Amino acid sequence: MIKAIYPGSFDPITNGHIDVIKRASRIFDQVTIAVSQNINKKSFLSEKEKIEAINLSLEGLKNVEVIAFDSLLVDFAKKINAQIILRGLRAVSDFEYEFQLAGMNKHLDKNIETFFLTPSEEFSNISSSLVREILMLGGDISSFVPQKVEKILLSKLKK
């Protein structure tokens, strides 16, 4: 059984993330969405809200689970017996950083492989930070996130 782990802050999950997850669920036996709190960023959504948004977005995918973690990724991957770290690449500019991460993870655990997937072309320009910015400025985010996620974000904005 090949198990992949797809880490990220998912603040919020976007249609690009969902595209990568759905495609990965056809490649790997099990995909774990690993929700992290990025210590370098202030989150818009709480951990609980992120997990709720992800679960609502992935209804019907039987081989996908969502778990929060707060440790080194390779340690968490070992804990859940994942052999693959899945990373999304939107643009060439992502590659250098992701390549460094892959190398560092390989150094920390030689049994972990990194698998890169690009989102489908229509999702390649979507990022969580841009979605948040558009939301904060009153723009329409409906083409960037699922409707259920949009409702969570709009209700959060009103608080």
Each residue of 59-78: pLDDT tens digit? 989 999 999 999 999 999 99
Mean pLDDT of 22-50: 91
Could you say which of 22, 23, 90, 156 is catalytic? 90
CATH of residue 58's domain is 3.40.50.620
Is residue 29 within 8 Å of 63, Cβ to Cβ? Answer: yes
The pTM is what? 0.93
Cα–Cα distance, 22 to 26 (Å, whole number): 7
Query: Cα(first)–Cα(last) distance of the chain, in Å?
Result: 44
Find the helix or strand (DSSP H, E) in which 36 lies.
strand 30-36
3-state secondary structure of 68: strand
Could you say which of 9, 17, 50, 87 is catalytic? 17
Label residue 49 by pLDDT band (50, 70, 90).
Answer: very high
Is residue 17 annotated as part of the catalytic site, yes or no? yes
Q: What is the pLDDT of residue 40?
A: 73
Label residue 107 by pLDDT band (50, 70, 90).
Answer: very high
Could you say which of 41, 48, 79, 151 is catalytic? 41
Is residue 87 annotated as part of the catalytic site, yes or no? no
Label residue 94 by pLDDT band (50, 70, 90).
Answer: confident
Is residue 106 annotated as part of the catalytic site, yes or no? no
What total number of domains does the chain contain? 1
Cα–Cα distance, 107 to 113 (Å, whole number): 11
Number of residues that this document lists for the chain: 159
Which strands, in side-by-side order, build the sheet including 30-36? 64-69, 30-36, 3-8, 84-88, 113-117
Could you say which of 9, 25, 57, 128 is catalytic? 128
Q: Could you tell me the residue range of the domain that residue 109 belongs to? A: 3-158
